[in-house]
Each structure stands twice: as structure tokens, then as C-alpha cells.
Chains A and B, each alone.
Chain A
Amino acid sequence: MNLNWLLPPIGTKAPPQEILLPVKTRYIAVTLLMALVLDLLALPGVLQQIRPDFIALTLIYWVVYHPRRVGFLPAWTLGLIMDVADSSLFGQHALAYAVLMYLAILLYRRIVMFGMRQQIIHVLAILIASQFIMLGVRMMAGADFPGPLYFVPSLLGAALWPLLFNVIRIPLRPRADPDVV
């Protein structure tokens, strides 16, 4: 699938390649768990409606920057957990995350080549696609369109992408002085 025509390269450079410490599976699990807690966090009022999906963002990060570490199964299981926690239809988030994983794996080789600005656009496209899947599922099950606020989480999530990129990498950066433990 050629998506070149969608995104002409604008003059921003890809983030410089860093030498990172090896990623432990435990660390990936911890980040996903933290994302889950962030997603479950009780927030007042409208904040609850516009909170970005941190699990989706974290999954995209691991697929893009450490490919073949997170597979479909953990993503799908997290989707089931979100379905129970949100009491949405069983399989709704699971399906959305499967689509998200597919798109992310399909696109990760291009995404790392782009600068942050274009990466944000890619992430936004993936997030919106997964939200459209959920919207389609629910509308087929008889729900109404919940209003324009529905897509705000994707916008916010894409805007948070550079921040997430930096925060997840903090424990992975080697210490400045290797002699100091």
C-alpha cells in the first residue's frame, strides 16, 4: 500500500537515532500497565470524554520503535480488558486494537523515517482509524453518534505523541557516566 501521495515529506528531520539500552519485556509490560491505569483513571466531567487512549499510543510506540516486541495477542487482550472496564461491547476495543496493530506494523518503517510533525499525522491517522472501527461497531449495534467530542481523544493523543516518545525513552537512555552505577 503506497501512502506517499497522502503525506509529501515536509522539511522536518527525523529524530536523531539514539543508542538505547536493551528493552526488557518487563519494561514493556510495565508501560502498558501504566497506560491501562491512565485509561481507567476516574476523571471529572468532560475530561473523561476527551481523554486520549494511552494504551493505543503506547502500543503504537512499541510497534514503531521496537518492532516485533509487542504482538497482536497482548494488544488484543488489552482490548478485551478495556471492553470490560468500559462495559462496551465485548470485542469492540479488541477489534480496534487489532486494526491499530495492523496499520502500525504496516507503516512503522515509514514512520521512523519522518520528522515528528509527520509522525504526528501518521499516529493521528492510525488513532482515528481505530476510533472509526469502534464507532462503526457501536452504530451497527444501534447506538447514536455521540457528538463531535468523540474524535477529540485522537487529536489529543496524536498531540501527545512527541511527549510519549520522550517519556518512554527516559529509562532506556544509557547513563551519562558509565563508571557511576
Chain B
Amino acid sequence: MEYSPPPFFKRGPSLLTRFTFFTVLSVVLLVSDARFSYLQVLRQAIATVVYPLQRLASLPSGLAARVGDFFVTQSQLQRENEQLRRQELLHTAQLQIQKALESENQHLRQLLAMRDRVPRDFIGAEILYSHRDPFTRRVVVDKGLQDGVRAGLAVIDDNGVVGQVTRVFPWASEVTLVTDKEQAVPIQAVRSGLRGVTFGIGYDGTLELRFMPVNADLQNGDLLVTSGIDGTYPAGLPVAVVSNIERNAAYAFARITCTPAAGVSSFGQVLIVSTSDKVRENPVPDDEPGPKSKRVKK
């Protein structure tokens, strides 16, 4: 408009009017998103449009990693190869034992008339990038609705639990890390068998084990694994290692901080653990007498 005659008479609504209009619109969106979680459809639509741009923007880091891979010395590769071979051999042996144990376990469970364990599938995924939002701890992985990922599934890596899928887009999904402030994982201490729940505190590399009595049987270095009672995380996956315990008799609970086991902040490959929905939705069969509490879907 700089090079056209100045619009003396028609300049549209005043600045304050426009500002008020867009502010009110934003606030309406904010409230409907924060309070009622509407607008999922709109969010998905925008995400689908932005997806190519996001892939484009994550290219340079991928390229940098590939260039880094290119300049690996042969001796390094040989060493790694040898190490992997040794590991593979070890794992094969362990797998054979595990298969035998699994069949035995299944047999025993049948004998005891216990419910079968939930069968689980794994979807391999790659972390595309971590979120810029400084208020949450989230990463985006490259598998979405198209690959059968659903919100609520657990995400693990080779060292332990990474987090949980919280939002799914057609070709990507968002994983909230265990270190996020609103993320809780039910755990069990390996040494003492104590059950509890870890919470993220919103910083990298720290978890908190809340509501543990001052005299709880925990020590520095205790490994915490998933207890599996939530139906989301498979039992027995490493979650964290206890790093610091403050026992103060003046408070009801001990202050226990832990270090996550998985490489929560590093980029790499992860596995998304999927379960069959039927088992999760209705844990108590209809013919059995039991509490008829409705499970709250996460």
C-alpha cells in the first residue's frame, strides 16, 4: 500500500478494535483448549498442513548426523561390529532360555487358571525433534495414526521407559517424556518390592518419587521398574535409579529424587508398545463379582 495513494477515508477498523477482536478470539481458543480439550480436529488439520514444513526443518539435523556417520573410521566400525556380534550371541542364548521360560510360564498359568498376559506389539519409531515449548518435556516421533499408533501407548528405548504417546497426528505423534511435570509412572523397586509412582518435575534428568513414608525401604542406587498395574506400561521395564533421598522426620514423606534410566533427552530410536484395547478397557469380566468402577481413559 506504500505505493498506492494513501487511503484517507477507508482504513478499516481501528487498531484497538482489531487488537481486541484477535485477543478475544485467542482467549476463546485458549479456554476451549485448556478447559474442554475441544479443537482436536482443527489441531490435526493444521498439523497435517504443517507436517511437510516440519520434515523440511528436521532435515539439517538428520543430514548432520549422516555426515557424522560418514566420517567414521574403519577400526571404529570393526570394533563396534565385533561388540555387536558378541552381544548378539549373548542375546540369542538369552532368548532361547527366555522362550523356554515363556512356554513354561504359560503352561503354569494355564494350570493355575490365571489370565494370560497381555500380548504386546512393538512399533519402531525415530525421534524427529524435541519440542521448543519450554513448559513441557515432549518429543515428536515419525510414526502416527497411519502406523497404528494411538494416544496412551507407552514408549520405551533400549534402556527403559521414555514416556507415553499423548497426541497422534496422521504421520507423527507426540510423546510426553517421563520427566514432564504432568507425567506419572507406577513403579516397583526391584530390591525391596516397594510400589510407588514417579512424577516428572519438568527438568531434564530428574524424577521424583512422591508420597513415600520417611522410613521407606529405599537406598541410593535402587533400580525402579514399571509395576505394570496401570495396564499402560509392560511390567519390569527400568524407569529410574534412585539418586538422592532426604529423610526429614518433620515431614510426612521422604524427598526422593531419581535419574531416569532411558536416554530421555537424547535423540534416537524408540519402540512404541501397543496393547490390545479389549484387555485395557474392561479389566474385570462381567460374570465375576467385583468392583464395577469405570476406568478413566487417559
Chain A positions within 8 Å of B, measured between CB atoms, are 22-23, 33, 36-45, 48-49, 51, 66, 68-69, 71-72, 76, 79-81, 84-92, 94-95, 98-99, 101-102, 105-106, 137-138, 141, 143-144, 146-147, 149-150
4 A-B pairs closest in CB distance: A91-B29, A42-B129, A95-B26, A40-B57
Query: Which positions in B face A, CB cutoff 8 Å?
Result: 1-3, 15, 18-19, 21-23, 25-30, 32-34, 39, 42-43, 46-47, 49-50, 53-54, 56-58, 60-61, 128-136, 138, 167, 174, 181, 202-203, 265, 267
B30 touches which of A85, A95, A105 (Cβ 8 Å) = A95
Q: Is the CB of A149 within 8 A of B15?
A: no
B54 touches A40 (CB 8 A): yes
* Secondary structure call for the B interface: helix
A39 CA to B50 CA in the complex, in Å? 12
A89 & B33 in contact (Cβ 8 Å cutoff): yes
Pair A92/B30 contact, Cβ less than 8 Å: yes
**Residue in contact with B47 in the complex, picked from A38, A49, A84, A141, CB distance below 8 Å:** A84
What is the CA–CA distance of A133 and B217 in the complex, to the nearest angstrom? 45
How distant is A146 from chain B, measured CB to nearest CB, in Å? 4
- Chain A residues whose C-beta falls within 8 Å of the C-beta of B18 in the assembled complex: 71-72
Inter-chain contact A94/B135, CB cutoff 8 Å: no
Contact A86 B19 (CB under 8 A): no
Given contacts A37-B56, A69-B1, A98-B22, contact A91 B132 (CB under 8 A): no
* Cα of A106 to Cα of B53 in the assembled complex, Å: 32
A90 to B133, CA, bound (A): 12
Please tell me which one of the listed residues A22, A90, A149 contacts residue B39 in the complex, with CB atoms under 8 A apart: A90
Cβ-closest chain B residue relative to A53? B132
Contact A146 B19 (CB under 8 A): no
Q: From B267, which residue of chain A is reached at the shortest CB distance? A: A44
Chain A nearest CB from B205 CB (Å) reads 12
CA distance A90 to B28 in the complex (A): 10
Most buried by B among A86, A90, A106: A90
**In the complex, chain B residues whose CB is within 8 Å of the CB of A85:** 47, 50, 54, 132
A87–B138 CB distance below 8 A: yes
The residue that B130 contacts in the complex, of A48, A66, A71, A99, with Cβ under 8 A, is A48
In contact, A90 and B43 (Cβ under 8 angstroms): yes
CA distance A170 to B61 in the complex (A): 27
- A91–B15 CB distance below 8 A: no
> Contacts A36-B53, A90-B43, A92-B30 hold; do A98 and B19 have CB atoms under 8 A apart?
yes
Q: Which residues in A have their C-beta under 8 angstroms from that of B57?
A: 37-38, 40-42
Kindly report which residue of chain A lies nearest to residue B61, judged by CB atoms.
A42
B134 touches A42 (CB 8 A): no
Shortest CB distance B234–A (Å): 26
A12 to B117, CA, bound (A): 74
Q: Report Cα–Cα, A40/B58, bound state, in Å.
A: 8
Instruction: Report if A22-B134 is in contact (Cβ < 8 Å); known contacts: A42-B57, A84-B46, A90-B29.
Output: no
Q: List 8 A-B contacts (CB under 8 A).
A: A22-B2, A38-B57, A40-B54, A42-B58, A45-B265, A49-B134, A91-B29, A150-B134
State how many angstroms separate the Cβ of B103 from the closest Cβ of chain A.
43
Inter-subunit contact A87/B1 (CB<8 Å): no
A86 touching B133, Cβ below 8 Å: yes
The answer to whether A138 and B135 touch across the interface, beta carbons within 8 angstroms, is yes
User: Judging by beta carbons under 8 Å apart, are B25 and A144 in contact?
Assistant: no
User: Are A42 and B167 neighbours in the complex by a CB distance under 8 Å?
Assistant: no
The CA of A63 and the CA of B124, in the complex, are separated in Å by 46
Give CA–CA (A41, B174) in the complex, Å.
17
Docked CA distance A137–B138 (Å): 19
Min C-beta distance of B21 to chain A, whole Å: 8
Alpha-carbon distance between A95 and B27 when the two chains are bound, in angstroms: 7
